Structure 1
């Protein structure tokens, strides 16, 4: 891929290195306003914009640009009443919402191959979905109840300045910012509602902010009447993700530190997944860790675009995790 356009609003005229000091290179580009004329300059547009802005830009660029990849929540939830509940301020065209492919490459790769509109899952949703898919889409289990515990670093909250995110309040804290529900859980349920053969009766989530900057961990506690054991579960996960290089099925005690652990994936496009059967509790525990800025956002966007344009899936994504962080 060749970078040919950088779009924005508040930073028009500025160079990338001014905004991101780590990008100390001359790309020959400055930030420009986004108009329909950019269709003559690009094959794919990545929208890293707030959801209301993405809804407007998608309407502007759809059918003008071969592929639009949206990283916001504007089109993640297809069901109208669920979208209105979790994104009440995001008005979107219904016909566009029905055309967007929910872009988890490992699960819908065949749909991405000719997709014109791709909606990237949220960072939590990516981890939860990859963690649960072998149970529902692989084994076809009926999950009565799924309770998700999610922990994420401060970068998950974006760039908007909020008092609770100031360093004196955030550092060292474990903040239950969404203890009784999270919109990423809603999009997971919406996706699996269409992803047979298995079903999910109830999926709820509690989310916590922790004091590191990037990386997240989801712990999904699954209750089902279907009989499974540890050996069957491990085999099912390995089989389901065979050939998918960016999902690493791990055994909890296979390394010096218990995994999955976000620090073991930072800077990479990997998602580490572990499945455990809790005999005493009568539940399945699924752990998933990823870097919310890579596999949870930008890396997954590039991965989806690679599939869309027939490039090797790992193009531009071969970086290994940085550890210790």
Structure 2
């Protein structure tokens, strides 16, 4: 068995990691760590976890290296930067779910994460990216930085355009809509039920850090280029799930048939990316409710001939494919397991 530790056990992503790890046939939950919840059992922190795992939340020290083979950091970015520096070269694999090491370019990192002080040398050692796009780099990787939930959806949506078709994307405008769990458990007035319920909240209308990491990753991935990539983000009255709508303007010529073939070809054999036709089901897809509770990302690309643009839609569960599920997927690849191990659950509908 592969011994796994979860740090940030009291958070939403931490709870989801515990749920997935304890159902995984090859992972053993060996450590749960945190600061504010030291001494508490996972079942006290997460009402859905009634099982007694025989563990309580412990402070994180370098001694964790004797207890785990992989540690998942479901912690805020400043804490992840400190913990990664402590655990790198001690734990065989560190998988960080925060934004501490997502953006490689130092200037861009300082712009979007000004409060996250990290070592440039350490940041350069992290493998970043959606598993479907960097699979070979994850094998035996000691340090892995997972994309943000929005970034996962945007990148999976755009990758076939740049990496398969080699298009130069002159302008990409992203509209992102996410449920309340995307903000974690921080108490903010805008997230209180009287204000959040039945509301569409423009919490980041002129820019979002996840767009920065997508642009940084695609620039390093090469093939086609991306000129300007900007994003507006909105909170919607969901708990789980998000949808990104990317409006792409390119000087290249492409029609609907070419798009569909390119996306199908690019993701052939990828278990967790489902290339959809917008009108193939009883409800239009992609739709977050059609992926909830699963590690799937549903993607559709549409050619808007009249508007001279490509519309790319991507939906996922922000706590699974956008966080904990993708972390387990990366761990599976890292330790040579079948990629889908422990992640074969189907979406729940209605939810």
Partner of 1:321 in structure 2? Answer: 347
1:45 aligns with 2:71: yes
Distance in 2 (CA, whole Å) between partners of 1:227 and 1:165 is 43
Displacement after TM superposition at 1:153 (Å): 0.4
Q: Which of 306, 321, 325 is the matching residue for 2:332?
A: 306
Partner of 1:177 in structure 2? Answer: 203
TM-score if structure 2 supplies the norm length? 0.92
1:250 aligns with 2:276: yes
Distance in 2 (CA, whole Å) between partners of 1:236 and 1:154 is 34
Displacement after TM superposition at 1:103 (Å): 3.2
Distance in 2 (CA, whole Å) between partners of 1:195 and 1:284 is 21
Displacement after TM superposition at 1:267 (Å): 0.2
Q: Which of 264, 267, 272 is the matching residue for 2:293?
A: 267
Q: Which of 54, 71, 88 is the matching residue for 2:80?
A: 54
Computed over aligned residues only, the root mean square deviation of the Cα atoms, in angstroms, reads 0.5
How many positions carry a matched residue from both structures?
A: 325
Partner deviation per Cα, 1:180-229 (whole Å, 9 max, x = no partner): 00000000000001011110000000000001111000000000011100
* 1:54-133 superposed matches below 5 A: 54-133=80-159
Displacement after TM superposition at 1:114 (Å): 1.9
Partner deviation per Cα, 1:38-74 (whole Å, 9 max, x = no partner): 1011110000001000000000000001100000000
Displacement after TM superposition at 1:288 (Å): 0.1
Structure 1 runs of 4+ aligned residues shifted over 4 Å read none
Distance in 1 (CA, whole Å) between partners of 2:192 and 2:35 is 25
Partner deviation per Cα, 1:103-153 (whole Å, 9 max, x = no partner): 310000000002110001000000000000000011111000000000000
Distance in 2 (CA, whole Å) between partners of 1:266 and 1:111 is 28
Distance in 2 (CA, whole Å) between partners of 1:156 and 1:12 is 24
Distance in 2 (CA, whole Å) between partners of 1:103 and 1:224 is 24
Distance in 2 (CA, whole Å) between partners of 1:292 and 1:54 is 19
1:194 aligns with 2:220: yes
- Structure 2 gaps of 5+ residues are 1-26
- Structure 1 gaps of 5+ residues are none
Partner of 2:169 in structure 1? Answer: 143
Q: Which of 14, 24, 38 is the matching residue for 1:12?
A: 38
Kept in 2, the 8 Å contact 1:103–1:304? The answer is: no
Partner of 1:288 in structure 2? Answer: 314
Kept in 2, the 8 Å contact 1:103–1:112? The answer is: no
